[in-house]
Amino acid sequence: MGQNEVKVGLLGLGTVGTGVVQLLNEHVQKIEHQVGGAVRVTKALVADKTKDRGDIDLNDLELTESAAEVINDTEIDVVIELIGGVEEARQLISDALANKKQVVTANKDLIAMYGAELLEKAAENSCDLFYEASVAGGIPIIRSLTEGLSADQITKMMGIVNGTTNYILTKMNDEGRSYDDVLQEAKDLGFAESDPTADVEGLDAARKMAILATLGFSMNVDLEDVDVRGITTISAEDMDYSEQLGYTIKLIGLAERDTETGKVDVSVQPALLPADHQLAAVKNEYNAVYVYGEAVGETMFYGPGAGSLPTATAVVSDLITVVKNNNLGVSGRSMVPPQFEKSLKSDEDIRSKYFLRMHVKDETGVFDEITSLFSKHDISFEKILQVPLAKNGAGKAEVVMITHETSRTSYEVIYEKLKSMESIHELESSYRVEGGTSE
């Protein structure tokens, strides 16, 4: 890789890949000024070379249907992986590193599962492997953790890191529409995949939180360490009662580290936020992440979580860093292995407030029975609503409550006991409550 021209090979020329080509075409002078020479995509892997690429200026870019032609091209200095998936991408990146090529990827699934392995291989081959675009699109959250906040001790990261689910919940909340109705609209608009499982079941967000926790806490956090729950069971009634109680429901990624024990917990699940919390105001497909540091205090990163140009901006920023590192002769030296052994909190260590909605017999003494059960476990209530069921609810009432903070262990014990009480017809929904005065 010389300073006169850096040649780049793309694995994938879809939405993000074309955005990368567009940015490199439009920002030629700025990029040359930063790195001391031209940076040009010379070859790209595509599924079909005959496909119409629209108005994008390919600038004599060679298209190929063979990944090996990109990976093994001796003239290519940097490989950018944008094909997605896991096993094929893992092998291609591994081969590229073995061929002494610098690598940039936007593949969150791959990094969450095999990031440590690939970063080690990159260091062994004196190569860089950067992945800023794998989390939160155009928001520079990874670089902020590894560079901007590297002098601080991160204690908590909390945010909205999936645009599809945030779009769905925004429309449900603001327009009173059903989950199924909004999901179909999100598919029609391209915000949701034809198979949205990874988004709506929280898996996409969980992969991102595993990456952030690994970097923020300098500890190898695996995907299976993340407690995951999606949004598919959230109802219009949950939204309405949350609003009455002064809250908004969001799919929240949460990673916390205990400053005394060093133990961490990482989760992705629907949570109630106070309506005046800044994350409650994050609408539609936008992402936002709070980072809490012992020294810096509270910082917030906000922006588009996906899209061609926002994600491509993160990819090209990594590309520029790769070229700068090469020019300085420090390629492959940026990886810092985790400082701490993995240590996870137990359920007894994890504390939160909880929202609980249930249908009960509309009889004297039932409410006292419920409150007595909570009292025996030293759990008090912050807010309570009790209303008769208007629809198909003869002889039934609805009780909605928000508890004060308690351990997950205590709450789950109570939850199981509530399920067996004859006076309770149905436990309709239960969510964590975040934010507020404990923040």
Q: Which ranges of 125-235 would DSSP assign to H, the alpha helix?
A: 141-143, 163-175, 179-189, 197-200, 203-217
Q: Are strands 62-64 and 102-105 parallel, antiparallel or unpaired?
A: unpaired
Active site residues: 208
DSSP 8-state symbol, 144: I
Question: 247-257 and 78-81: which strand pairing?
Answer: unpaired
- Cα(379)–Cα(52) distance, integer angstroms: 62
Long-range contacts of 119-123, Cβ-Cβ distance < 8 Å, separation of 24 or more: 119/335, 120/335, 121/94, 121/97, 122/97, 122/332, 122/335, 123/332, 123/333, 123/335
Burial label, 211 (beta-carbon count in 10 A; 0-12, 13-18, 19+): buried
**Do 214 and 118 form a contact (C-beta atoms < 8 A)?**
no
For residue 157, the cross-strand partners are 255, 291
Provide DSSP, 358-409. Answer: EEEE-STTHHHHHHHHHHHTT--EEEEEEEE--SS-TTEEEEEEEEPPEEHH
Write out the H or E segment, with its range, that includes residue 78: strand 78-81
Give 79's strand partners.
Answer: 9, 103
Residues 433, 271 contacting (CB under 8 angstroms): yes
Q: Position of tokens 């300085």? A: 328
CA dist 84 and 12 (Å) reads 9
Q: How far apart are CA 365 and CA 135, in angstroms?
A: 50
C-beta separation of 287 from 137 below 8 A: yes
What six digits make up the tokens of 7? Answer: 């040649």
CA distance 106 to 137: 9
> Which residues 6+ apart lie within 8 Å of 226 measured at CB?
206, 209, 210, 213, 266, 267, 268
At residue 126, the 3 state secondary structure works out as coil
